[in-house]
Amino acid sequence: MNYRIGMVLDGKVTGIQPYGAFVALDDKTQGLIHISECRHGFIDDIHSYLKIGQRVRVMIIDIDEYTQKISLSVRCLEKPFDFEAPNRSRSTRKRFWTNRHVHDGFAPIASRLDGWVESALEDIENGK
């Protein structure tokens, strides 16, 4: 088999099932486009997206080592879905929560440590 993961090929849809579409890559080899790999977003009915005999451009995303089954994707070749509205201006700077005005550090722990040690020693003495 001369196919490798990551290859982009043209194929022909030869069969459609509720879970995906079979695509002939050549005369002897075919792969499967799972319904989740057809396009970004939810697909209610694969028949509304792919038809038998349709030529499709696909990317090989997996080849099973033992069975030689090929998994294909059309979604990988699409532009990624943009969750941001094009009109919305949003800062690209990452913001992390911090409270740089509080300088307590480990002081709250240190103030309680003696009590915790005493409590633990009492528990040990009482057999807890």
pLDDT, tens digit, 9 for 90 and up, residues 10-35: 999 999 999 999 999 998 999 999 99
Q: Is residue 70 over pLDDT 70?
A: yes
CA distance 19 to 111: 61
**CATH of 8-77 among 3.40.50.150, 1.10.1060.10, 3.40.50.800, 2.40.50.140:** 2.40.50.140
Q: Following DSSP, what letter does each residue of 111-122 receive, concatenated?
A: HHHHHHHHHHHH
**What are the E-state strand segments in 7-118?**
8-17, 20-24, 30-34, 55-63, 70-73
Q: For the chain, what percent of residues have pLDDT higher than 70?
A: 80
Q: Is residue 89 over pLDDT 80?
A: no
Q: What residues does 24 pair with on adjacent strands?
A: 12, 30
Contact 59, 77 (CB under 8 A): yes
pTM score: 0.60
Show Cβ contacts of residue 11 under 8 Å, excluding neighbours closer than 6 positions. Answer: 23, 24, 25, 30, 31, 55, 56, 58, 72
Q: What is the pLDDT of residue 19?
A: 92
CA distance 89 to 73: 32
Dihedral of CA 22/25/26/31: which sign?
Answer: negative
Q: Which residue ranges make up each domain of the chain?
A: 8-77
Q: What is the pLDDT of residue 39?
A: 86
Which residue blocks in the chain are alpha helix, DSSP H? 107-125
User: How many whole angstroms from its chain centre is CA 109?
Assistant: 40
Q: Is residue 88 over pLDDT 70?
A: no
Q: Is residue 95 over pLDDT 80?
A: no
